[in-house]
Structure 1
Amino acid sequence: MRLRARLTTTTAGLFMALAAVTSLSGCMTVHGETAVVPAATEDEAEQVLERYFEVTNEARRTYDAELNATVEAGALAEINGAGLTAQGALAEEAAAAEGEEGAEGEETDGAAQLSYANPRFLIPQQAGWPKFFMVDTEIEGNESRWLLTFSRNSVDEEWKARYLSVLQPSAIPEFAEDEDGYLEDIQIASEDTGLSVVPGELGTAYTEYLDQGQGSFLGGPYTSEVLAAREAAAEDPASSTDFADVPSEQDAHPTFAVRTADGGALVLFTMRMDEKRTWAEGETPQVHEMVKPLMQGTADSAVTLQRYATFTAYVPEGEDPVDLRGRMAGVFQALGE
């Protein structure tokens, strides 16, 4: 795998939770549809990472969802964009309550700037589109590591982050390398991977697990604990809750998979996980302050939270269960009734 030895830091960086770069040259850009080539050069990947942190830090300071969307795509952009919109609305309300001018566009002490250090650039050789690469990096002041996945659909597009996995170092596996030292990309629809679940079918398998309460998944915060929380919600006398879990379409939210050194795979996939809560007569609906700015309609008796969730899964070789190691989830819109 491709490493960058020198320490890299920047004072620009990300919501919570780099695109103006040089193009690949020669046949790598012209024939990327059929030739097996590195998805990016290491220098290009570093420029993408630097710009990503610069732009997202600026977006966090100014609550600018549109700016954030210039370096993020898919569910990640929807989640973080909604968060910025909600934070900006709450900041304006707070400023108005204090008799000050609106806070839009102003810097805030609450938006701590993020810096990265010691990034590893994990680049596969691929044919066709979309192409992607990953970055495993330290975040200053954080014990967890960030695994960022950038992709684009053509050489004319800018690289954007689609997945952000916040993981303990032990949760990041050792990756397999080809003879040139690049990651081994896995075709997500292939039935010949030797994996316990075909990567492209992971969303469907997870949906069935949540619906039936059984399946080839290890217990944990994104599996057995989710089922337990839903069972508890069903017993709440003040309200009833309905869940709708749907695997996202590959065109809009592609799944990515790379081979690990032990023969398994690290798979990134996206789910749409909506939740409708209806309160009993006489009960007052409870709406989180971060949801209110995203609300359409009035919450008289029910609220539907429209949510995306992205997952980082380790899929073993053979028949062992899948280990969901990371999740980023967020409401991007709410409907009141």
Structure 2
Amino acid sequence: MADRKCRTRMLAWAGAALALTAALAAAGCTSTPATTSAGTQAGSTTPEVTTAQAGQVFAAYVAVADRAASTGDASLALSNVTGVQKLTITTQLKAAKSGTGALARYRYGPPAVVLPRQGGYPRWFVASVTRSLVGRPGSPGGTAGLSLAATGRVLMVFVQGRATAPWLLSSTSQLPAGVSVPPLSTDSAGYVATVPLNSGAQLARPDATGPLQAAVVDDGPASPAALVVAAGNLTTGIYAAARAAMTAPAGDLYQWELEGTHYSNVALRTADGGALVFYEMYLDSAVEVPAILNKGVVKTGPPITVPGYLAFLLTPGQPVPRLSLDTQQLLSFAAVDPPAGTASTAAKIQVIAIGGGLIYASAA
């Protein structure tokens, strides 16, 4: 059984993406609207990032990350990351310290740099690059229950908070085999136009992309949101993986929920007028005795199995849990939101990349 914060409003589906977006907003499930993409300041004279500068930032990150992974230097590993990437690395370091994991080490090919047209801080850009894993996987238990290929193309979002701040890697999201980024809307200088997060020019507002995906992850193909969100590994696939992970003892409840975060979303305009949206979500799961969920008198049940990959996040030597086992993953996504009024009625939001992983677990 999955907990659904947005379910009641979702059932009022009116057959159009706009109606669903409004329902989600009424339920408090959308991000805070913004008149421009996150960080853009109208009229600012902040210099644009150049291809050469972005290349230097990428090369510096790769050098530091490789040195940190090869030496196990925790401070160095955390020195050039923020956001999702920082929490992901923190979990890897905890796993490495416990002897159950390792800091992931990668080899990268030449990057293709995507530079958004922007006028203020924070500044950001995307590096699209082929990455190959060297050694052990970096995300204990997989990413949203999925196993990412050891070699694949990733979209790496780098940010700079202010003029004197360093460039940091915010997120890394991997595209499944056979999936590619659509052509983007570039100007004569090669910069890509950004899209306001509350834009009405796409099938759904870009800031509703995450909540729409969440509805499908939570409820599966039967969700009303499936009318505008395409089935695939990163939507119905996560739903299927969550259902397959059900290990609750008889009588206990298993729940999962994909929900929003406080991290900023950004969007780039695709050549056809759609949006390539980058955003973050929490994936929460819990095994609980019914009384906890119903806030009744709690009676302990049979032991709850703790997967081996979670043990390092729990208190050493604590008793086998009999009341609850909670986990949380922080995930990054990239999704393509097609333009409004697309001729093809089959056009849907396509979630094309995923990153991040486990960051928290507790048991009682």
> What code does the residue aligned with 1:76 have?
Q
2:146 equivalent in structure 1: none
Greater fraction strand: 1
Separation in 1, partners of 2:47, 2:174: 25
Give the CA deviation at 1:164.
0.8
Report the CA distance shift for 1:282/1:112 in structure 2 as closer, same or farther (over 3 A): closer
CA RMSD in angstroms comes to 2.9
2:57 equivalent in structure 1: 48
1:153 equivalent in structure 2: 161
Separation in 1, partners of 2:174, 2:98: 27
Deviations 1:135-165 (A, max 9, x none): 1123358652122110122112111111212
* Structure 2 gap ranges (5+): 1-39, 134-149, 291-299, 342-346
Give the CA deviation at 1:203.
2.2
1:304 aligns with 2:311: no
Give the CA deviation at 1:177.
0.3
Separation in 1, partners of 2:302, 2:74: 34
Instruction: State, as a whole percentage, how many aligned pairs show the same letter.
Output: 23
1:166 equivalent in structure 2: 174
Query: With structure 1 as the length reference, what TM-score do the two structures score?
Result: 0.74
1:226 equivalent in structure 2: 238
Report the CA distance shift for 1:169/1:223 in structure 2 as closer, same or farther (over 3 A): closer
Report the CA distance shift for 1:38/1:148 in structure 2 as closer, same or farther (over 3 A): farther
1:180 equivalent in structure 2: 189
Report the CA distance shift for 1:90/1:39 in structure 2 as closer, same or farther (over 3 A): farther
* Structure 1 gap ranges (5+): 1-30, 93-109
Report the CA distance shift for 1:242/1:65 in structure 2 as closer, same or farther (over 3 A): farther
Please state whether the residue corresponding to 1:188 is helix, strand or coil.
Answer: coil
1:10 equivalent in structure 2: none
**116, 124, 127: which is aligned to 1:132?**
124
1:255 aligns with 2:254: no
Give the CA deviation at 1:207.
3.1
Report the CA distance shift for 1:160/1:33 in structure 2 as closer, same or farther (over 3 A): farther
> What code does the residue aligned with 2:166 have?
E
> What code does the residue aligned with 1:228 have?
A
1:242 equivalent in structure 2: 255
Report the CA distance shift for 1:282/1:208 in structure 2 as closer, same or farther (over 3 A): closer
Report the CA distance shift for 1:57/1:233 in structure 2 as closer, same or farther (over 3 A): closer
Whether the 8 Å contact between 2:338 and 2:349 is mirrored in structure 1 is yes
1:268 aligns with 2:315: no
Query: With structure 2 as the length reference, what TM-score do the two structures score?
Result: 0.69
Separation in 2, partners of 1:329, 1:112: 12
* Greater relative contact order structure (CA < 8 Å, 6+ sep): 2
Separation in 2, partners of 1:276, 1:185: 37
Separation in 2, partners of 1:290, 1:209: 26
Whether the 8 Å contact between 1:145 and 1:169 is mirrored in structure 2 is no
1:203 equivalent in structure 2: 210
Separation in 2, partners of 1:145, 1:132: 19
Give the CA deviation at 1:181.
1.6
Give the CA deviation at 1:73.
0.8
Whether the 8 Å contact between 1:163 and 1:268 is mirrored in structure 2 is no
Whether the 8 Å contact between 1:124 and 1:185 is mirrored in structure 2 is yes
Q: How does 1:320-335 map to 2 (within 5 A)?
A: 320-335=347-362
Separation in 2, partners of 1:125, 1:112: 32
Give the CA deviation at 1:54.
1.6
Compare 278-287 and 46-55 and name the one that shifted more.
278-287
Report the CA distance shift for 1:38/1:266 in structure 2 as closer, same or farther (over 3 A): farther
Q: How does 1:35-74 map to 2 (within 5 A)?
A: 35=44, 39-74=48-83
**275, 287, 312: which is aligned to 1:277?**
287
How many residue pairs are counted as aligned between the two chains?
285
